[in-house]
Amino acid sequence: MEVTLLNINSLGYCLRQSIVSIYRNFWLVLVTAGIIAVSLSVFGGLLLIAVNTGQIIRNVESNVEIAIFLYDEANAEEIQFKLDNLVGVRNSTFVPKEQGLEEFRKSMNMAIPLDGLSGKNNPLPDLFRVKAVRAEIVPELAREIQEFPGVEYVEYGEKVIDILNRVTGWLNTVFLVISSLLALGAIFLIMTTIRISVLSRQEEIGIMKYLGASNSFIRFPFILEGMVIGWLGTLSAALVLGVVYYRLVVLLKQEALAFFVQPVTDMEILLPLLIGLLVIGTLLGGLGSMVSIHRHLKV
Amino acid sequence: MEVTLLNINSLGYCLRQSIVSIYRNFWLVLVTAGIIAVSLSVFGGLLLIAVNTGQIIRNVESNVEIAIFLYDEANAEEIQFKLDNLVGVRNSTFVPKEQGLEEFRKSMNMAIPLDGLSGKNNPLPDLFRVKAVRAEIVPELAREIQEFPGVEYVEYGEKVIDILNRVTGWLNTVFLVISSLLALGAIFLIMTTIRISVLSRQEEIGIMKYLGASNSFIRFPFILEGMVIGWLGTLSAALVLGVVYYRLVVLLKQEALAFFVQPVTDMEILLPLLIGLLVIGTLLGGLGSMVSIHRHLKV
Amino acid sequence: MIEFRNVTKSYNNSNHPAVANVSLRVERGEFIFLVGPSGAGKSTIMKLLFREIMPTTGQLFFIKRNIINFTERDILKYRRLIGMVFQDFRLLKQKNVYENVAFALEVLGQSPRKIRQKVPVALEKVGLTGKEKAFPSELSGGEAQRVGIARAIVKDPLIILADEPTGNVDRDNSKQIMKLFESINENGTTVIVATHAWDLVDRMQKRVIALKKGRIIRDEQYGGYATEY
Amino acid sequence: MIEFRNVTKSYNNSNHPAVANVSLRVERGEFIFLVGPSGAGKSTIMKLLFREIMPTTGQLFFIKRNIINFTERDILKYRRLIGMVFQDFRLLKQKNVYENVAFALEVLGQSPRKIRQKVPVALEKVGLTGKEKAFPSELSGGEAQRVGIARAIVKDPLIILADEPTGNVDRDNSKQIMKLFESINENGTTVIVATHAWDLVDRMQKRVIALKKGRIIRDEQYGGYATEY
Ligand SMILES: Nc1ncnc2c1ncn2[C@@H]1O[C@H](COP(=O)(O)OP(=O)(O)OP(=O)(O)O)[C@@H](O)[C@H]1O
Ligand SMILES: Nc1ncnc2c1ncn2[C@@H]1O[C@H](COP(=O)(O)OP(=O)(O)OP(=O)(O)O)[C@@H](O)[C@H]1O
Ligand SMILES: [Mg+2]
Ligand SMILES: [Mg+2]
């Protein structure tokens, strides 16, 4: 009497069984999916915040300017050309000394008479304002430009750049720590939930073993079930996140704030996030089930 | 044969029973406490972030300055006196026109000769720099100072203040939304966990009812157990948060950033947070148990 | 003391009733055997009496009061008067033998001193001295059944309802358990036993109520398991 | 086919062994009754045979192979040869009667067509036709027990181990079940039944092994429940 441990009949049976099981354990399935949904919503929400914070910082960074003060005898056009061809420069503007004086006057107060300083008496130099593509390269860029002939002095918000870089680094660390903790927490939660749900069927698993069921035969429906649960949970999480995020985006767009805080709406960034969540959820459900029933599979 | 539904013997029994039950269900107790710990850690972590963000913003806000430009003939001392007695002013500094020129020269570039503008030729006015206790009152303050005799013009970072106020409002909303969601999620998780743990004893509860046990008699050990579990979970959460936060504080203190991002270490703020968490956790555990067994208590 | 009036019980997903139009009077102090083939409705009658389930139609009285209208509080008080032996034992898995038996007294709010006195006596009566510390999962079938019996008798109930109390117990133990019920009955307790132990039923010559497909087909004052009319 | 060599089984929290130094040979095609008082060790011997538990000391052979050294895969294959009736039924709560019986065949990887043929036959043999859709919680004690029996016989096992298969079943049903085992035995299946049904043991005159406190006190080729030497 030769017996195989798993054949095509068994596979069909397992598949049917998963469906019946989800149907009969409806409530438990719902709760488990709910817990996964909550965990992943929080986690996904954090990711969205991180993505947006990154965007804001990049926004601020890209507004950092390098001011290039020229000698009176400098060739502005040549420098302009050189700047335009310099890697890392986003754009550059020439500010003649007259404009500089005007800006100064404005910044002080219109009512103050500076007429005596116009024309020949203007003590200010011509200058270029340059924006870099990223904040990190500003110091490097400044050093290079300093070497250009005709450039007297290069200045940039050293302090601001410094602070920005530190803040970015700090935020990255914080986000990494928080999201690792959250991820660990979510995994722990999901595993525990599945484990408890398996625990409630411990007896059943035992009986199956007594009837000669192999581990894969017992495991398979559980894993399928876990994957469906994980997938359901993630889908709900994605839905919740999507709706909340969409509302926030609309809200922000209406606010004058929109310019300052531009929410990421790029599908190129958001779609992988969504798909990633779905994959993670499904895997978590499946793997969670697998690990959880492992301890109950001893003969 | 008169029977009372709950007497002193029963109370003693319930108390003993809770302890025995925690001991025998060690694993389940641990998992439940763990889930509460994770939920509350995340929630508490968010609160800490909120508290600190608030502090940073207040920090930035308190550095917003009002510049007060004076007429040449103004009485600086009188204005100084008035400013010192104005509600909402944190401090004020007098900047004579010579110092203003010096600062301007520095901000442009030392190398630029502005010698011709010193003394009588100085086109700049004297001015006061005033810091407010809170950013919101700056516009109000500016309007008041404008009315002082001898004040030609008052200026402040209208844009910065505006942005700060908006950011603060926005962050408050975001934090409110996230923490409400998190709180809901945490409550859901804890309730579910306790419910599942009760579910696994559904049979036992049924048998107790068959033996004539009253609802309070059955409920009491569960609620006590739930409270202990909630309390254990919260304590762990507090411990984890405490250690992580302490490490972060130490790290930040070492960094030069410390000035920019000063973590809140005030026990007056942190202690109520901790106690609040403990109370919430204990109540959650107890109430969670109560609600969860409710559905199993039908005769 | 107990009266069934045209009681019918149909379970939801079943086409014919488990108990059909049963009328029955039980006086205080009676000893009754409930017999009949598997699925005849013996356990259903026990559950109706215990108010674990409600009749679909009909009335059910306990000392002139209709059990059906009992409030939750009434039910609890009523159950405390009854010592029930369940066919599927229903021991508290988390409690050991001693605690399971003691629980019946804790529920009544009896003092720890009284409990410490009574429990060992009950365990002795069913022959389980020495098994106090064992948990239900560590008992043999017959031992578990006897814990259920000890739990029912320990509280000196007004009525004992025993559903198949000797199904997992050997011949000698069965005889002893029946003797135990008999002596408790002699002290005034009403005893109703559902059983397949035909030899004991035959030997004891008590009132026998025979069921078949939910109907009473025989009710003899001094009968056997399968007495012919 | 089966041999116990000085098998002793002591449970952890028990001072005397449940099975003590038992030696025993069972040939292919035998029909054996295991009798003895409650707690004598009958179920323990069944569990040892089924390799649900391991002996504390001693050897246990199945067709010359030592069961104790079985790998997990061996155990599964071994169990598929055995039809076990558990004293506590062990039905799958989440499956209905039909599915519970079918499960024994699903495990063997039999085709849906074959399963649809065999399950109704087995249910008919134990008298449960019409109860296919009921879940274990909706069965009477005897019905649940018979589902367990149907599950054991449906797969045409090499050995049937039945622990107290008639404890909750009435007299007629008990006789019928024993007849069922007898006819299966006549087709070559080895049958071992632990039971308290003394009348059936007496009537059938098969090999009887009597246990007391874990020791074999009698092993007769054609014996009764309590034959004196
Ligand atoms: N919860 C339920 N849901 C549906 N049907 C049920 C339920 N409980 C019992 N039944 C059915 O009602 C009938 C009577 O059951 P009952 O348990 O009263 O029989 P019994 O006389 O105690 O039998 P046994 O001797 O086997 O214990 C049986 O056919 C059974 O299948
Ligand atoms: N898991 C266990 N842990 C500890 N002791 C156990 C365990 N299982 C059984 N025992 C003890 O071992 C002894 C023999 O038990 P076993 O179940 O073999 O008896 P049995 O002959 O089947 O009795 P019954 O006729 O009542 O079913 C009993 O005293 C029992 O209490
Ligand atoms: Mg019954
Ligand atoms: Mg046994």
Helix H, strand E, coil C: the string for chain D is: CEEEEEEEECCCCCCCCCEEEEEEEECCCCEEEEECCCCCCHHHHHHHHCCCCCCCEEEEEECCEEHHHCCHHHHHHHHHHEEEECCCCCCCCCCCHHHHHHHHHHHCCCCHHHHHHHHHHHHHHCCCCCCCCCCHHHCCHHHHHHHHHHHHHCCCCCEEEEECCCCCCCHHHHHHHHHHHHHHHHCCCEEEEECCCHHHHHHHCCEEEEEECCEEEEEECCCCCCCCC
Residue C189 to residue C30: CA distance in whole angstroms: 8
Look at residue A1 and tell me if it is in a domain: no
Final residue before a domain boundary, out of A105, A128, A156: A156
Higher confidence at residue A94 or residue D229?
A: A94
Atom of ligand 1 nearest to the CA of D142: 26
Residues 6 or more apart whose Cβ sits within 8 Å of residue A286: A223, A224, A226, A227, A230
Look at residue A105 and tell me if it is in a domain: yes
Look at residue A148 and tell me if it is in a domain: yes
Q: Identify which of B286, B277, B285, B279 has the alpha carbon closest to the alpha carbon of residue B46.
A: B277
C166 Cβ below 6 A of ligand 1: no
A257 band by pLDDT with thresholds 50, 70 and 90 = low
Order of all β-strands in the sheet with D159-163: D82-85, D159-163, D190-194, D31-35, D207-212, D215-220
Look at residue A2 and tell me if it is in a domain: no
D227 band by pLDDT with thresholds 50, 70 and 90 = low
Per-residue pLDDT, C169: 93
Final residue before a domain boundary, out of A130, A156, A182: A156
Higher confidence at residue B100 or residue A86?
A: A86
Per-residue pLDDT, C229: 45
Looking at the structure, tell me whether residues B71 and B28 fall in a common domain: no
Q: Please name which ligand lies nearest the alpha carbon of D142.
A: 1
A111 band by pLDDT with thresholds 50, 70 and 90 = very low
Per-residue pLDDT, A193: 67
- The answer to whether the beta carbons of residues B66 and B129 sit under 8 Å apart is yes
Higher confidence at residue A59 or residue C113?
A: C113
Superfamily grouping for domain C29-46+71-220: P-loop containing nucleotide triphosphate hydrolases (3.40.50.300)
Looking at the structure, tell me whether residues A149 and A193 fall in a common domain: no
What digits encode the pLDDT tens for the residues A121-145? 677 788 888 888 777 788 888 888 8
Looking at the structure, tell me whether residues A180 and A280 fall in a common domain: yes
Look at residue A3 and tell me if it is in a domain: no
Looking at the structure, tell me whether residues A257 and A235 fall in a common domain: yes
Which chain D residues are Cβ-neighbours of A3 within 8 angstroms? 77, 80, 108-109
Q: Are D107 and A207 within 8 A, CB to CB?
A: no
- The answer to whether the beta carbons of residues A151 and A145 sit under 8 Å apart is yes
Q: Are D141 and C38 within 8 A, CB to CB?
A: yes
Maximum mean pLDDT: which of A76-90, B94-108, D163-177: D163-177
Higher confidence at residue A28 or residue C195?
A: C195
- Containing B6, the helix (H) or strand (E) segment is none
pLDDT for D12 beyond 90: no
Per-residue pLDDT, C86: 95
Mean pLDDT of D50-69: 94
- The answer to whether the beta carbons of residues B89 and B141 sit under 8 Å apart is yes
Per-residue pLDDT, B2: 38
Per-residue pLDDT, B6: 62
User: In residues, how long is chain D?
Assistant: 229
- Containing B230, the helix (H) or strand (E) segment is helix B215-254
What digits encode the pLDDT tens for the residues C124-149? 999 999 999 999 999 999 999 999 99
Residue B136 to residue A260: CA distance in whole angstroms: 19
Look at residue A44 and tell me if it is in a domain: yes
Looking at the structure, tell me whether residues B45 and B121 fall in a common domain: no
Higher confidence at residue C46 or residue B173?
A: C46
**Residues with a CB atom less than 6 Å from ligand 2:** C 134, 138-143, 168; D 11, 13-14, 18, 36, 38-44, 87
Q: Please name which ligand lies nearest the alpha carbon of D36.
A: 2
Looking at the structure, tell me whether residues B90 and B77 fall in a common domain: yes
Looking at the structure, tell me whether residues B77 and B30 fall in a common domain: no
Report the gap between the CA of A226 and the closest CA in chain D (Å). Answer: 17
Per-residue pLDDT, A220: 85
pLDDT for A110 beyond 50: no
Which pairs with CB-CB distance under 8 Å and at least 24 residues apart come from C11-17? Answer: C11/D138, C13/D133, C13/D134, C13/D138, C14/D134, C14/D138, C16/C213, C16/C214, C17/C56, C17/C214
The two tokens of residue B20 are 């025995």
CA of C166 to the centre of ligand 1 (A): 18
Bridge-partner residues for B155, per DSSP?
A: B67
Q: pLDDT tens digits, chain B, 299 residues: what are they?
A: 334 456 777 788 888 888 888 887 787 788 778 877 877 887 788 778 777 777 777 776 666 778 888 888 888 888 888 888 888 888 888 888 788 777 766 655 444 555 666 666 677 788 888 888 777 788 888 888 888 888 888 877 666 667 667 767 777 777 777 777 777 766 776 676 677 667 777 888 899 999 999 888 888 888 888 888 888 888 998 888 888 888 877 777 766 555 555 667 777 778 888 888 888 888 888 888 888 788 777 76
Phi and psi of D19, rounded to 5°?
-135, 130
Atom of ligand 1 nearest to the CA of D141: 27
Q: Are D133 and C13 within 8 A, CB to CB?
A: yes
- The answer to whether the beta carbons of residues C28 and C64 sit under 8 Å apart is no
Question: What is the ipTM for the molecules in this complex?
Answer: 0.80
Instruction: Say yes or no: C77 contacts chain B, CB-CB below 8 A.
Output: yes
Which domain does A278 fall in, by range? Answer: 8-60+163-296
Mean pLDDT of C30-39: 95
Looking at the structure, tell me whether residues A46 and A133 fall in a common domain: no
Per-residue pLDDT, B113: 54
CA of A211 to the centre of ligand 3 (A): 26
What digits encode the pLDDT tens for the residues A196-216? 667 777 888 899 999 999 888
pLDDT for D214 beyond 90: yes
Atom of ligand 1 nearest to the CA of D145: 26
Mean pLDDT of A175-190: 72
Report the gap between the CA of C104 and the closest CA in chain B (Å). Answer: 6
Which chain A residues are Cβ-neighbours of D73 within 8 angstroms? 5, 214
Look at residue B113 and tell me if it is in a domain: yes
C55 Cβ below 6 A of ligand 1: no
C42 Cβ below 6 A of ligand 1: yes
Q: Are B6 and C111 within 8 A, CB to CB?
A: no
Q: Give the total number of structural domains in chain B.
A: 2
Q: Please name which ligand lies nearest the alpha carbon of C163.
A: 3
Final residue before a domain boundary, out of A156, A174, A206: A156
Q: For chain D, what is the mean pLDDT?
A: 93
Q: Are D92 and A9 within 8 A, CB to CB?
A: no
Q: Which residues of A117-136 are buried (b: 16+ CB within 10 A; e: fewer)?
A: beeeeebbbbbbebbbbebe
Q: Are A5 and D72 within 8 A, CB to CB?
A: no
pLDDT > 90 fraction of chain D, expressed in percent and rounded: 91
Look at residue B3 and tell me if it is in a domain: no
Of B65-74, B189-198, C158-167, D96-105, least confident by mean pLDDT is: B189-198
Top mutation candidate among C8, C15, C43 for ligand 1, by most atoms within 8 Å of CB: C43
CA of C209 to the centre of ligand 3 (A): 14
Looking at the structure, tell me whether residues A41 and A143 fall in a common domain: no
Looking at the structure, tell me whether residues A45 and A73 fall in a common domain: no
Domains of chain D, by residue range, sit at 29-46+71-220
Query: Which of A12, A204, A211 minimises the CB distance to D107?
Result: A211
Query: Which of B13, B203, B299 minimises the CB distance to C75?
Result: B299
Mean pLDDT of D79-87: 95
pLDDT for D88 beyond 80: yes
The pTM assigned to this predicted structure is 0.78
Looking at the structure, tell me whether residues B243 and B281 fall in a common domain: yes
Instruction: Say yes or no: C96 contacts chain D, CB-CB below 8 A.
Output: no
Residue nearest to atom 29 of ligand 2 (CA): D39
Distances, alpha carbon C101 to alpha carbons A123, C118, D203, in Å: 103, 9, 38
